Amino acid sequence: MSPHDPNAAPPAAPTAYPEGAARRPGRRARWLGSAVALLVVALLCGGAWWLVQRSKAPVGGAGFPAVGGPGGPAGPAGPGPGGGGGRAQVTVGEATARMASLPVTLDALGTVTSVATVTLRPQVSGVLTQVLFTEGQTVRKGQVLAQIDPRPYEQALMQAEGTRRRDEAQLENARITLERYRTLLSQDSIARQDVDTQAALVKQLEGTVMTDRAQERTARLNLDYTRVTAPSSGRIGLRTVDAGNYVTTGDTAGIATITQTAPIDVQFSIPQDRVADVQGAADTAAAAGLTVAASDRTRTSELARGRFSTLDNLVDTTTGTVKGKARFENADGKLFPNQFVNVRLQLREVPALVVPVTAVRTGANGDFVYVINEDRTVTMRKVRRGQATVEWIAITEGLQPGDRVVTEGGDRLRDGARVQLQGPAQGASGPRGGASGAAGAPGRRQRASGASWPAGGDARSEGGGEGGRRHGPRSAAEGAASGPAAPAVPGTAPASGARGAGQS
């Protein structure tokens, strides 16, 4: 048949079945991939939720997972450390609230200032011939410290003495002549004018002699100034000039500086709002004075104790403070001039219920403490704080004398949690063990002396039943190979046969 034959039948349309059959397997693969992806996402979400819940659980002991598991058997008297939903006991420090005299203090930053600071400056000019002190030496008032060449001043003194003696002789002669003139005047043998002239000459010579005496004393004083002496007692610093140099009265640096260090003052600033309180306390303790303690920069070492002296007479408008001063004996020389110190001024002492500062915590609802009950559970109790020192804080509301509070380990506690106390042989366990009781509650291993972990074991805290295991069971051979078995803790449940002889 010809391809162009008009009577030829049209070609048949291609069927879609084979092609559709080829696309069905690809659609199934896409659905299967989507299902696998959703499953993976669900598993990841579940794992993240499990990790979040696990992190919320309290951590016990030395930072290991909670002792006991679901199905861990409890003793006859109740759940032990591994029971109670698998939570571990937290080791905490404790303190007892007690009544004490709490000092009311005022802290400030102070500067040590010398009672007297003197710069040795020469009063006369000349060549420095001797330096008679050692740098850093403690000198006394009036001690000779340096010597300036005295020869020019000795000559000036001799000249002044000679002038005075000459004028005194002239004065004496004028006085004798005046007496003669007065005798002749009484005999009417001389004119009165000559007598008056001689009397005026006597007065003139008296003034000249007085001037000569002043010049002589000045020359003698200049001669004394050639010996440089200490105007006050104290510690002398570094010298600025050596022997052989020419010194003058205009030297601003001087020869050296003397600072009085015993006694010594400390100057500090007091807020203007506390001025009335300080004045009232100072008036109350006027006889004994207020105690002031000076410590170093880190407040770890107390340098000296002294007495409060006085307040300044005005308020510094730039800082809103008033300057105060305290005096210290400083016999041991621990306070040094211009040294910065921390000052603590004790105003008074008040009776108060006190606990360690570490016992008070701050939450969303304010300050609170964890109170340890008789059954070694803790209760969160809201308190109100008062005066505080570095170590103690007053509680004005919320506690009673004798209440035991948590001082360490409170960050891992919740209201109602069970705790174990620090110290040797707490309850039925070792230093890190809990109070398992005498009813067979699961215990923990004691730490061996001189070792970081119990003998014969690893760093795990073992429970009494299968539910108290953290890791896989250890065989008796493993326990015997790692060392001698730790002594059994009284009052704990006996170890199961599957735990081996090396575990208690």
pLDDT at 84: 40
Six token digits for residue 227:
């010996």
What's the pTM? Answer: 0.54
Mind listing the pLDDT tens digit of every residue in the chain (504 residues)?
444 555 555 555 444 444 444 455 567 777 888 888 888 889 999 888 888 877 665 544 433 343 333 333 333 334 444 334 445 688 899 999 999 988 888 899 999 999 999 999 999 999 999 999 999 999 999 999 999 999 999 999 999 999 999 999 999 999 999 999 999 999 988 899 999 999 999 999 999 999 999 999 999 999 999 999 999 999 999 999 999 999 998 888 899 999 999 899 999 999 999 999 898 888 887 767 889 999 998 888 999 999 999 999 999 999 999 999 999 999 998 999 999 999 999 888 889 999 999 999 998 889 999 999 999 999 999 999 988 887 889 999 999 999 999 999 888 888 889 898 876 533 333 333 333 333 333 333 333 333 333 333 333 333 333 333 333 334 333 433 334 333 333 333 333 333 333 333
pLDDT at 6: 52
Q: Which residues share a beta bridge with 310?
A: 325
Neighbour-count burial of 441, counting CB atoms closer than 10 A to its CB (0-12 exposed, 13-18 middle, 19+ buried): buried
Report d(CA 120, CA 126) in Å as an integer: 15
Peptide bond into 263 cis (omega under 30): yes
pLDDT at 437: 37
What is the phi/psi pair of residue 335, to 5°? -90, 130
Taking alpha carbons only, the member of 223, 259, 241, 239 closest to residue 123 is: 223
Report d(CA 122, CA 128) in Å as an integer: 10
pLDDT at 164: 95
List domains and CATH numbers for the chain.
68-86+423-504 (no CATH), 93-102+352-420 (2.40.420.20), 105-115+259-350 (2.40.30.170), 118-253 (2.40.50.100)
Taking alpha carbons only, the member of 86, 156, 92, 84 closest to residue 124 is: 156
Report d(CA 191, CA 185) in Å as an integer: 7
- Read off the amino acid at residue 480: A
Cβ atoms of 302 and 344 within 8 Å: the answer is: no
| Distance spanning both ends of the chain, measured CA to CA | 103
Taking alpha carbons only, the member of 447, 466, 463 closest to residue 455 is: 447
DSSP states along 403-420: -EEEEESGGG--TT-BEE
- Read off the amino acid at residue 263: P
Q: Which long-range contacts (CB under 8 A, 24 or more apart) does 366-369 make?
A: 369/395, 369/398, 369/399, 369/405, 369/406
Cβ atoms of 430 and 446 within 8 Å: the answer is: yes
DSSP 499: G
Radius of gyration from C-alpha coordinates of the chain: 49
